[in-house]
Amino acid sequence: MKLYIAQATCSLAVQLVANELGLNPELIHYDVFDKTTSANDDFSKVNPLMYVPALVLDNEERTQLTETIIIASYLADLHLAAGLIPAHGTLERVKFDQLLTFVATEIAQKHIPLMRKLQTEFGTEWTRAKLVSAYAVLDERLADGRPYLTGDKFTVADAYVWATMWQERSGAQIGHLKNLMAYIDRINARPAAQKALKDEAEVVARHQELKAA
Ligand SMILES: N[C@@H](CCC(=O)N[C@@H](CS)C(=O)NCC(=O)O)C(=O)O
């Protein structure tokens, strides 16, 4: 499998899930600034919208998957016994997919226009408030002392939230959400999270070297 990633983006969620499952996708770095990849290929052929993450499977069709929650859920579904996601066809799964959609739409995608400074002053204020409220919902979930969003076990949802902590770049004040901050520290301490950051740094550095050569 080939996994297209970019630095400090939602692709870290898929890297973390893959690491938790002991998978080793080949990482390809997509440089969001100059649009090149470390495989020297045309990323628009993988995702016409030029968004990471994108996963290319090893099957005969070389199926290309996009959308963070779809890729992460697909990998977790293939290894259901690892417990990173509830089984399809259960109410637990429906509620889990609800949570993933919440993270995608109310958190990850709310950050993007803020980080890119695309909005009016009013829009910025509105979006930041929505973002802080969404993180506060997660903080409240964690208030009963559970270590992870759905309980005792780390899941795909935790990987996704961990990968979207871009509050400094988007100016969202969430430092007061103590349960959330302690939870992120807990995920930071996971070997799979540390490996994701290390692998990302290595593939970014390799790509820069290739460009400089
Ligand atoms: N709908 C996609 C959006 C993914 C997305 O927004 N990716 C960002 C990084 S988190 C990206 O690739 N941006 C490229 C760019 O800004 O040029 C998903 O949920 O996976």
* Shortest-distance Cα residue to atom 18 of ligand 1: 67
> Distance between CA 152 and CA 109 in Å, rounded?
27
| pTM of the complete model | 0.97
- Residue 168's pLDDT is 97
Identify whether residues 93 and 54 lie together within a single domain. Answer: no
Instruction: Give 120-125 contacts, CB < 8 A, sequence gap 24+.
Output: 124/171
Residue whose token pair is 């109410």:
91
- Residue 50's pLDDT is 97
Identify whether residues 204 and 171 lie together within a single domain. Answer: no
Domain count, the chain: 2
Q: Ligand 1 centre and the CA of 9: distance in Å?
A: 7
* Shortest-distance Cα residue to atom 9 of ligand 1: 9
CB 66 within 8 A of CB 53: yes
DSSP secondary-structure letter at 143? G
The tokens for 26 are 């080949």
Identify whether residues 93 and 173 lie together within a single domain. Answer: yes
Domain, as residue range, for 65:
2-81+192-212
Q: Name the CA radius of gyration of the chain, rounded.
A: 17
Best probe residue, ligand 1, of 12, 52, 118, 169 (max atoms within 8 Å of C-beta)? 52
Which positions of the chain have pLDDT values less than 50? Answer: none
Identify whether residues 60 and 126 lie together within a single domain. Answer: no
Identify whether residues 93 and 161 lie together within a single domain. Answer: yes
Identify whether residues 91 and 170 lie together within a single domain. Answer: yes
Q: Which residues of 176-213 are buried (b: 16+ CB within 10 A; e: fewer)?
A: ebebbbebbebbeebebbeebeebbeebbeebeeeeee
Identify whether residues 76 and 111 lie together within a single domain. Answer: no
- Residue 110's pLDDT is 98
Identify whether residues 183 and 203 lie together within a single domain. Answer: no
Residues above pLDDT 70, as percent of the chain: 100
- Residue 141's pLDDT is 98
* Shortest-distance Cα residue to atom 15 of ligand 1: 32
- Residue 153's pLDDT is 98
